[in-house]
Homo-oligomer: A and B are copies of this chain.
Amino acid sequence: MQDGEALTEWQAASSDEERPANSREKGLNRALHILEFLHATQRAIGIGELAKGLNAPRSTTYTLVRELVGAGLLEMAGDGNRVYFGKKLYLYGMAYMRGNDLLRRGRQEVDTLSRETGETSELCMLQSGRYTIVHSSPGTRPFRISSATGLQIPLPWTASGRLLLAGLDRNRIEAMISRDDLVLPDGRKIDLDDFIDDIAKARVTGYCVTSGLVDAYTKCLAAPVFSAPGKIEATMCLVVPIDTSDERTGELVALLRDRAARLSIP
């Protein structure tokens, strides 16, 4: 009957200031939590379940869902009493993309890069303190390594994470990394100092390669995209089999850095 897995998440994410108690919540916040929750579950969910998952009062949840459905941000899913994201969100999202040069061009670059190399390619950004895959294009390998857009992963697990944090001072980095983030899926633990060293190293070399972190079979190559001199706004990355030769890896890194540089503003 316990829940609260998703709770801690956004509670911390959105400017973790005060927590007076657990009295009345503002409707808007509840609504935002609903959206986050759906984003986490990635599928339609019953309203009762939703209320339980957010531990929000049932009556309130019904009201809010009704309003959000009315506004088109949510839709009732096929069978009748489940809800998921609505068309409006798609439209808003497309509007965001249209207004965002980096994203629009980045998506294209990623698509062509994965077509050219045959490897899985991704565009990544920092989103509320977490590493986020903003766009990904699967490679052409028989067993391709693919990951969904919008997926959020702890920063220390990835090569991109190391680049995205380059330029931040130690305090800010520590603030962004939780204890759990340093534990890899297979149970190994990353040393915080090593991680911070990696970040510094990535900062000067201008790229980053990690091997067998999220899983044992892949290597991750990343290069920074700058939105202003020194400001890393995003990364482009390639996910390749871990047994890729050093030579090919080198070639891919060079290509990747070139494309990422093309995306950069200054």
Chain A residues within 8 Å of B, Cβ to Cβ: 14-15, 26-29, 31-32, 35, 38-39, 42-44, 64, 67, 70-73, 84-100, 103, 125, 127-128, 132, 134, 148-150
Contact = CB atoms under 8 A, between A and B. Distances in A.
A59 to B, nearest CB: 15
B14 A91 contact: no
Nearest to A149: B94
Contacts of A31: 28, 31
Q: How many copies does the complex hold?
A: 2
B27 A71 contact: no
Contact of A90 (B67, B93, B148): B93
Given A28-B67, A44-B99, A89-B95, 7 more contacts: A31-B31, A89-B96, A90-B134, A91-B93, A91-B149, A91-B150, A93-B96
Contacts of A92: 35, 38-39, 85, 89, 92-93, 150
A87 B128 CA distance: 10
Q: Do most interface residues of chain A lie in helix, strand or loop, or is the interface mixed?
A: helix
Nearest to A43: B99
Contacts of A95: 38-39, 42, 85, 89, 149-150
A49 to B, nearest CB: 16
B94 A150 contact: yes
- CB-based closest 6 A-B pairs: A93-B93, A85-B96, A91-B150, A90-B93, A89-B92, A90-B96
Contact of A132 (B84, B91, B103): B91
A134 B87 CA distance: 9
Nearest to A150: B91
